[in-house]
Structure 1
Amino acid sequence: MDRQAMWTRYGLMVPVMLAVAGCAAVPTPAAPPPQPAPVAAAPAPAPLPTPSRGWEERAVDAGSWRYDAGSRAATFVPTGSANPLLTMACSGGGIRLTSALTGDVSLRTSAGTDQIRFDGGSATLPSRDPRLDRIAFSRGRFALETPGGGALTLAVQAEIGRVIEDCR
């Protein structure tokens, strides 16, 4: 094949291929995308159950942990309710715990007992506080108990460690 025929063949094929490739159909949306739902204010925390046995013998509160990467928060929501029992959120250089707890609250983990001061339903711990590690590495559960008898006995799951690590 001589040069003139080769240039003619390839010289015509390349523009034809580019024209065919540029004819891709662009889908048009059938309907406009739905508007995002308005964000509701956080519901009030649920009242705390009163414990009847020691924290290691009590059943773990029924519910599940949920992690929100956008707000860097882990929330424990009881089964059948939308109101969280406990929220752990990264807030600046610390982790803010929010619940219906008030006053000096006993934190019980497999590593021992500590105190956390809840003012107005929340407490903030520095991100490197060893109490956070005790919660994350407790064997299966941890408990928060108020002097008035209310208590939370919650399962230890990966969401807790994730919010702690995100805040560090």
Structure 2
Amino acid sequence: MRRLLPIALVLALADCAGPKPRPTPPPPPPAAAALPAAPPQQDWRDVPLTPGAWSWRGGAGRSLAQFGLLGAPAIFALSCDASHRTINLSRAGSTGGAATMLFTTSFGAFPLAASDGAGEPPAIVARAAASDPHLDQIAFSRGRFLVDVAGAERLVLPAWPEVARVIEDCRS
């Protein structure tokens, strides 16, 4: 027992010294810089319309609907080529060669091959047969349709009756 007494005494004194200090935790890593929130993706049906209005002219086998600001050159047009039963869809601008004119309607999207047309002011022209059902998608799109050509400003055009008039005139 004499041998155990010094060991017990050392252990008792060790307990009296109090709890051992805990190591200091490392500082938290610096917070990452908050990234700006991504802009919400806007549905194409909510994008503001391109400023302007449709106008229609016709007679003597000719039917033409033009969109633009009053007193300014048209920025988009549909015209009937009655002799070939085709619709020419043209927008202001030039591509310098072949391009694709992409239309988006409430029925879906579809491309038409396009190229620079002859004439002044310069225009990008796509052609479709008057019987092409894609033309109905443009005419009957819910409220609007889009016209996209690479390198040109997107057009958000209202689907007004003038569009359907040209298509129907070319079919009859």
TM-score (norm 1): 0.64
Which of 105, 109, 113 is the equivalent residue of 1:113?
109
Report the Cα distance in structure 1 between the residues aligned to 2:159 and 2:147, rounded to whole angstroms: 13
Report the Cα distance in structure 2 between the residues aligned to 1:149 and 1:97, rounded to whole angstroms: 15
What are structure 1's unaligned runs of at least 5 residues?
Answer: 1-51
Instruction: Read off the aligned partner of 1:115 and give its amino acid letter.
Output: P
Query: Which stretch shows the higher mean deviation, 104-113 or 147-156?
Result: 147-156
Asked if residue 97 in structure 1 is aligned to residue 86 in structure 2, the reply is: no
Aligned 8 A contact 2:74 2:92 in 1: no
Aligned 8 A contact 2:79 2:89 in 1: yes
After TM superposition, list the pairs within 5 Å mapping 1:1-168 onto structure 2: 53-70=42-59, 71-78=62-69, 80-91=70-81, 92-100=84-92, 102=95, 103-120=99-116, 121-148=124-151, 150-168=153-171
Deviation sequence 1:85-130 (CA, Å, 0-9, x none): 1110001311011113641122100000101121101111000111
Larger Rg: 2
SS at match of 1:167: helix
The Cα of 1:55 is off from its aligned counterpart by 2.4
Partner residue, 2:38: none
Structure 1 residue ranges, 4+ long, deviating more than 3 angstroms after superposition: none
SS at match of 1:116: strand
TM-score (norm 2): 0.62
What are structure 2's unaligned runs of at least 5 residues?
Answer: 1-40, 117-123
Q: Give the length in aligned residue pairs.
A: 116
Report the Cα distance in structure 2 between the residues aligned to 1:55 and 1:145, rounded to whole angstroms: 12
Higher relative contact order (CA 8 A, sep 6+): 1
The Cα of 1:56 is off from its aligned counterpart by 1.6
Instruction: Read off the aligned partner of 2:45 and give its amino acid letter.
Output: E
The Cα of 1:81 is off from its aligned counterpart by 4.4
The Cα of 1:82 is off from its aligned counterpart by 1.5
SS at match of 2:145: strand
